[in-house]
Amino acid sequence: MIRYRNLFQGDLLIGMNREKGKEDKMKIMVCFDNSAESKNALREAAQLAKAFQGEVLVVTSLAADQQYYPKLIEPYENNLKEAQEFMEKLSVPCQTKIAYRDVDSNVGEALAEFAKEENVDKIVVGIRNRSKLGKLFLGSKAQTILLMGHCPVVGVKKENSEV
């Protein structure tokens, strides 16, 4: 089971209760690690949220043991804060979370499971070209999310980024 903690909660939490028969906003999850690819995914999620009157959930995954060391998670919290500020400038409802996973678990699997637990409607993830050898040794978080996601997954290629 994934444990997580909400960050920067405020008035922007809209449509979180999903009741039968009640119209709800599209919930879009962005896998964010502050890389150029994830910044492009963030931009794509903002466009989708605006087009479908949705909300964005920006998520970073960390090993569970890191939650006990505030100095280790501070940079990740700062990255999420910057992502939320970016969304606020675009007037897109946004929530940020850190998903803590077991130390030996796969990041892609943990994020796919987290998306299912959060009942998201779409996952947006940044992708990049990798060598065959790199894929063999390191695997691919994005590929795992694409294959294991319970909902549609949008892969966004790297471009020049200014978030």
Tens digit of each residue's pLDDT (9 = 90 or more) over 58-86: 999 998 888 888 888 899 999 999 999 99
In the predicted structure, residue 89 carries a pLDDT above the cut 90: yes
CATH number given to 3-9+24-157: 3.40.50.620
140/65 Cα distance (integer angstroms)? 22
Q: What is the pLDDT of residues 100-130, one digit of tens each?
A: 888 888 888 999 999 999 999 999 998 877 6
3/80 Cα distance (integer angstroms)? 17
Strand partners of residue 115: none
CA dihedral in degrees (3, 117, 90, 77; nearest 10)?
10
> Which 3-state string (H, E, C) describes 76-128?
HHHHHHHHHHHHHHCCCCEEEEEEEECCCCCHHHHHHHHHHHCCCCEEEEEEC
Work out the pLDDT band at 4, boundaries 50, 70, 90: very low
The gap from C-alpha 79 to its chain's centroid, in whole angstroms, comes to 12
Q: What is the pLDDT of residues 141-151, one digit of tens each?
A: 888 888 888 99
The gap from C-alpha 96 to its chain's centroid, in whole angstroms, comes to 8
DSSP state of 150: S
> What are the sequence ranges of the domains in the chain?
3-9+24-157
The gap from C-alpha 154 to its chain's centroid, in whole angstroms, comes to 12
